[in-house]
Amino acid sequence: MSQTPHYRRILLKLSGEALLGDEPCGIDPQLLGRLADDVGDVSRCGVQVALVIGGGNIFRGAALASDGMDRVTGDHMGMLATVMNALAMQDALERRSVPTRVMSALKINQVCEDYIRRRALRHLDKGRVTIFAAGTGNPFFTTDSAASLRAVEIGAELLVKATKVDGVFSDDPVTNPSARFYKRLTYDQAIAERLKVMDTTAIVLCRDNGIPLRILNIYEAGALTRVAAGEDIGSLVVT
Ligand code: UDP
Q: Find the CATH number of the domain harbouring 147.
A: 3.40.1160.10
Is 0.90 surpassed by the pTM of this model? yes
| 105: helix, strand or coil | coil
The enclosing H or E element of 185 equals strand 184-186
Q: How far is the CA of 182 from the centre of ligand 1 (A)?
A: 26
Residue-level pLDDT at 3: 56
Report the distance separating Cα 101 and Cα 111, nearest Å. 11
- 146 located within any domain: yes
Half-sphere exposure of 148 (CA within 13 A, CB side): 22
- 108 located within any domain: yes
Per-residue pLDDT reduced to its tens digit, 65-109: 999 999 999 999 999 999 999 999 999 999 999 999 999 999 999
* DSSP track, 27-90: --HHHHHHHHHHHHHHHHTT-EEEEEE--TTT--HHHHHHTT--HHHHHHHHHHHHHHHHHHHH
- 34 located within any domain: yes
| Residue 64 Cα: closest atom of ligand 1 | 11
| Residue 18 Cα: closest atom of ligand 1 | 25
Q: How far is the CA of 120 from the centre of ligand 1 (A)?
A: 21
Q: What value of ipTM does the predicted structure carry?
A: 0.99
Q: How far is the CA of 5 from the centre of ligand 1 (A)?
A: 31
What would the mean pLDDT of 187-212 be, rounded to a whole number? 95
- 4 located within any domain: no
- 1 located within any domain: no
Residue-level pLDDT at 5: 80
Q: What percent of the chain is predicted at pLDDT more than 90?
A: 90
Per-residue pLDDT reduced to its tens digit, 155-192: 999 999 999 899 999 999 989 999 999 999 999 999 99
Residue to mutate, 142, 144, 148, 205, ligand 1, most ligand atoms under 8 Å from C-beta: 142
Provide residues with CB under 6 Å of ligand 1. Answer: 15-17, 54-56, 60-62, 74-75, 78-79, 81-82, 135-136, 138-139, 141-144, 146
- 166 located within any domain: yes
Per-residue pLDDT reduced to its tens digit, 125-160: 999 999 999 999 999 999 999 999 999 999 999 999
Q: Whose CA is nearest to atom 13 of ligand 1?
A: 78
pLDDT value at 23 more than 90? no
Report the distance separating Cα 41 and Cα 46, nearest Å. 9
- 70 located within any domain: yes
Mean pLDDT, the chain, rounded, equals: 95
Domains in the chain: how many in total?
Answer: 1
First to last CA, the chain: 30
Residue 95 domain boundaries: 9-238
- 139 located within any domain: yes
